[in-house]
Amino acid sequence: MKHFFLASLIAGAMALPALAADYTIIAPAGPGGGWDQTARSIQTVLQDEKISGSVQVVNVPGAGGTIGLAQFASQNSGNPNALIVGGYVMVGAILTNQSPVSLKDVTPIARLTGEYEAIVVPAASPIQNMEDLIKALKADPGAVSWAGGSAGGTDHITAGLIAKAAGVDPTKINYVAYAGGGEALAAILGNQVTAGISGYGEFEAQVKAGTLRLIAISSAERVEGIDAPTIKEGGLDVVVQNWRMIAAAPGLSAEQVTAINADIEKMVNSEGWKTILKTKGWQNTYLAGDAFKAQLDEDVAATESILKDIGLVK
């Protein structure tokens, strides 16, 4: 009887599903921005789809994500429950801030989303379209102020590329960097700057409410569901897509990395994640494993070249 009882216990234990991992995700920016939105979207889907039992999001803003990255890498070595959101912005910030910690100090898991840059002006602005903005920029680059995310990030790079394509010295642009999307949005709505530049998702509510005017999107062709011409239609050959990723801590075993990859793949393939992509206007750019690591190396090299062109990296 005792043997039967033990055998039943073992069989019962084997039949139970593996315990879902609990995760803490670092969003290395202030509330309201793209990384914060990405981290909280991941939190929602991992929990709603029962992929993880508990997911916490912690905001660690500053220096284009490099403060959060440094804290994450130093405090979580070997911890399979710690994740960090990052992306194209962080690649630029690591270079411009000459950060001692880079993406080589964490474990890249996957690229998740892509989002085109939107150029907006306050609804009361005399600037009606991209042509008006380019005209003002050519007349006096310093008089045209741009609100966006951290120095050297996607927003800054896009502003620099617009200036360069318009024949304006990119080092002369008046770019005002904000740590979080919420702060940049407040500056634009408060008429403290000429124009705002960020992912479309960060401006969508205000564009629909009529408090911001969307004058261009940085895609190669018009995007379904976004009522705006491309920067190319405005006369400049500029196409930029901001991508976002998820990474794990350094010092993990191959088994731990495989388990995290499996959770993220389940999330990406879930209906909950597909709904979020559609709602926020994010493109699905999922790429994982060695293919993502190779792409990441290429992106770092290309970003360094662009930042040299616009005078942010020597």
Model pLDDT, residue 9 = 43
- Between 187 and 180, whose confidence is greater? 187
Encoded tokens for 110: 């996957």
Encoded tokens for 48: 């709603």
Tell me: pLDDT of 16 over 50. Answer: no
Model pLDDT, residue 19 = 61
- Between 137 and 306, whose confidence is greater? 137
Tell me: pLDDT of 167 over 70. Answer: yes
Residue (of 19, 25, 312, 289) closest to 158 by Cα position: 312
DSSP SS3 for 65: helix
Instruction: Enumerate domains of the chain plus CATH numbers.
Output: 2-114+243-310 (3.40.190.150), 115-217 (3.40.190.10)
Rounded to whole angstroms, how far apart are CA atoms 313 and 233?
30
| Mean pLDDT score across all residues of the chain | 91
Q: What is the pLDDT of residues 208-248, one digit of tens each?
A: 999 999 999 999 999 988 999 999 999 999 999 999 999 99
Displacement of CA 49 from its chain's centroid (Å): 23
Average pLDDT, integer, range 176-185? 84
Query: Do strands 23-27 and 55-59 pair parallel, antiparallel, or not at all (unpaired)?
Result: parallel
Residues forming beta bridges with residue 84, ordered by sequence position: 26, 247
Average pLDDT, integer, range 261-279? 96
Name 152's Cβ contacts closer than 8 Å, sequence gap at least 6. 64, 89, 92, 93, 95, 96, 97, 307, 312, 313
Residue 179: phi and psi, rounded to 5, are -75, -30
What are the C-alpha distances in Å from 140 to residues 57, 135, 136?
Answer: 42, 9, 6
Encoded tokens for 246: 């998820």
Residue 29 · residue 244 · CB < 8 Å: no
Given 3-state DSSP classes, what are the helix, strand and coil percentages for the chain, each rounded to the nearest 5?
A: 45, 20, 30
Tell me: pLDDT of 304 over 60. Answer: yes
Residue 1: pLDDT band by 50, 70, 90 thresholds?
low
Residue (of 304, 291, 308) closest to 88 by Cα position: 304
- Between 171 and 11, whose confidence is greater? 171
Displacement of CA 104 from its chain's centroid (Å): 18
b (16+ CB within 10 A) / e for 297-312:
eebbeebbebbeebeb
Would you say the pTM of this structure is higher than 0.95? no
Residue (of 197, 148, 152, 141) closest to 174 by Cα position: 141
- Helix orientation angle between 181-189 and 34-48, rounded to the nearest 10 degrees: 130
Q: What is the pLDDT of residues 59-100, one digit of tens each?
A: 999 888 999 999 999 999 999 999 999 999 899 999 998 999
b (16+ CB within 10 A) / e for 160-194:
bbbbbbbebebeebebbbbbbbbbbbebbbeeebb
Model pLDDT, residue 14 = 42
Q: What is the pLDDT of residues 91-147, one digit of tens each?
A: 999 999 899 999 999 999 999 999 899 999 999 999 999 999 999 999 999 999 999
Model pLDDT, residue 206 = 97
